[in-house]
Amino acid sequence: MIWSFAPGLEGGAENQTRKIAIELVRRGRHCEIWTAWQKSHWAREEISEGIRIRRFGRHVPRIAPPLGTPGPLRFWLNLPRTWLARASFMADVRTYASQAGRPDVFHLHEPSWLGGFAVEIGRKAHIPVFCQEATFPTLQAPGYDVPNRKHLSHLKREAWFIAMLPYMANDMIVKGIPSHRVFLLPSGIVIPDDFSDVEKSRNVLYIGNFSQSALWKAFDVLLDAWGHVHRDCPGAILTVVGGGDASPWIDHARKIGVDGSIVFTGRVPHTEPFFRKAGLFVLPSRVEGMSNALLEAMSWGLPCVVSDIPGNRAVIDHEVNGLVVQVNNSVALAEAIVHLLNNPALRSSMGSHARKKAESEFDIRCVTDRLLEIYRFVLDEQSGAVKNDH
């Protein structure tokens, strides 16, 4: 269950939902994605890549604000519409869930308020709910644009939790979630058959969703750093891939005189061609969980330059498979990029280590094996508890 899904903009949660669902279907499991019907021309129900997608909320297309994350003022202006859209979604799901066959589990890659809602509709049927926390601090309270937000926030604490990283698990336990209800499981990625030719390529790649906040994604730091890189490595190209409104950053690039060395692609159906042509990957975020784009870059054998935040440090070992630089420091970011651009052998060595780590820790097949073990454990636990109640 996830609020937004394809063909809408895809962030990390949507990406992970799709990958896990595809792998489960490949193994012969029946998997459905329940999401909001945000555009009237989208099908209410369809099968894509073997996954049945059901879209709920008959009134959502008429009242939901435009897709994407608005600024603070637009958030408050859109709040009544968003509140009503979520209410429509929940009413529709409640009706369907009361009539449909009983699923074994509910899994939420973006739990927020939906975690509490899933607990609400799964309670009577004893359906376990898994909330996969991807942000830090964890267990963030729903916003005012959610009906019964306090009630849903309280209900969510009854779920089982999947933490991508140990510090997230510890944060949940400190906040009162019993340790036996918290499991560790990283994001999973599909390991490609080939590699990027990092020694020959001087292309720098960034992938991000421009509908997300610059306060989190640090688009400003990226472009200011590129001003320094463009001066020191005039032939280098920065490719910026991602949907959402990038026009403010395109204007910023023009103002600082680097627009000729940056390619803004907008949203693309497949990122593989961009990974294949890149020589290194950059991620300067101020706030990040476990970035799918970062893991995918590693799987293509790309050395990565990342900001010094917990989610990045969990996967990038400084001077082994990439470089870690101070958050908000565009000069340090630029120096790291220039250092790698000027050292093709170092790019190759770091890229090789990145690939090995991706294969050993983040292969979608291994992650799905562990996820199915978690499902079975909880289903067995819950089955025993129900029998004891009777």
pLDDT tens-digit profile of 164-183?
999 999 999 999 999 999 99
CB atoms within 10 A of CB 23: 20
User: What is the percent of the chain where pLDDT is above 90?
Assistant: 83
CATH class of the structural domain 12-188+364-389: alpha beta
pLDDT for residue 390 is more than 50: no
Task: Give the pLDDT confidence score for residue 101 in this predicted structure.
Answer: 83
Task: Please report the pLDDT score of residue 277 as a whole number.
Answer: 96
Position 36 scores a pLDDT of: 96
Residues of the chain with CATH 3.40.50.2000: 12-188+364-389, 203-361
- In total, the chain counts a number of residues equal to 390
What local confidence, expressed as pLDDT, does residue 11 receive? 82
CA-closest candidate to residue 74, choices 220, 210, 211, 266: 211
pTM of the model: 0.89
Of all helices (H) and strands (E), which one includes residue 377? helix 364-389
Residue 303: is the preceding peptide bond cis (ω within 30°)?
no
pLDDT band at 280; cut points 50, 70, 90: very high
* Cα separation, 53 vs 44, whole angstroms: 8
User: What number is the average pLDDT over the span 267-280?
Assistant: 95
pLDDT at 314 over 60: yes
Q: Average pLDDT of the chain? A: 93
pLDDT category at 388 given cuts 50, 70, 90 is low
- Produce one character per residue of 104-130: b if its CB has 16 or more CB atoms within 10 Å, e if not: ebbbbbbbbbbbbbbbbbbeeeebbbb
Cα angle at 189 between 242 and 375, to 5 degrees? 120
Q: Are the beta carbons of 322 and 350 closer than 8 angstroms?
A: yes
Give 111 or 334, the one with higher predicted confidence: 334
From the CB of residue 377, how many other CB atoms can be counted at a distance below 10 Å? 12
Average pLDDT over residues 203-208: 96
Mean pLDDT, residues 9-34: 93
Local confidence band at 249 (pLDDT 50, 70, 90 cut-offs): very high
pLDDT > 70 fraction of the chain, expressed in percent and rounded: 97
* C-alpha R_g of the chain: 21
Average pLDDT over residues 121-133: 93
3-state secondary structure of 187: coil
Residue 339: pLDDT above 80?
Answer: yes
Average pLDDT, integer, range 303-331: 97
Strand partners, 235: none
Task: Report, as an integer, the average pLDDT of 78-96.
Answer: 95
Architecture of the CATH domain 203-361: 3-Layer(aba) Sandwich (3.40)
pLDDT surpasses 70 at 385: no
CA distance 276 to 302: 9
- The string of pLDDT tens digits covering residues 364-379 is 999 999 999 999 999 9
Where does the pLDDT of residue 71 fall: very low under 50, low under 70, confident under 90, or very high at 90 and above? Answer: low
Asked whether residue 68 carries a pLDDT value surpassing 60, the answer given is no
